[in-house]
Amino acid sequence: MSHLNFQRELYSGLIRLHVLHHACREPIFGLGMIEELARHGYRMSPGTLYPLLDGLEKKGLLRSTRVLVDGRYRRVYQATPAGRRALKTAKHRVKELFGELFKDER
């Protein structure tokens, strides 16, 4: 496995959590999430992000609807109750893990 593929695999869970976090706060759409993730240093193409969103929807964590925006349809995603529960659980686990990862740096 190349270094780049390893990094993608390592960060894929963090990206999913980031997407779920935003989808719990407000409706999201693909291009908006690509821009949000880019602000945090993640470069994602539509060909990578849209399958990720589709996967989260198939798992029941997101629900999408089509919304008409400026004469074009846009797929908008929101967290489901299961997605909200999953994020809540993940936040506790991430907090515990990050506490352990950074405890020696305090």
- Consecutive 10-residue runs of the chain (106 residues): their mean pLDDT? 69 91 96 94 91 97 94 95 97 90 74
pLDDT value of residue 12: 85
pLDDT value of residue 79: 98
pLDDT value of residue 37: 95
- The number of C-alpha atoms within 13 Å of 19 and in the hemisphere containing its C-beta is 32
CATH topology of domain 3-105: Arc Repressor Mutant, subunit A (1.10.10)
pLDDT value of residue 65: 97
pLDDT value of residue 58: 98
pLDDT value of residue 77: 98
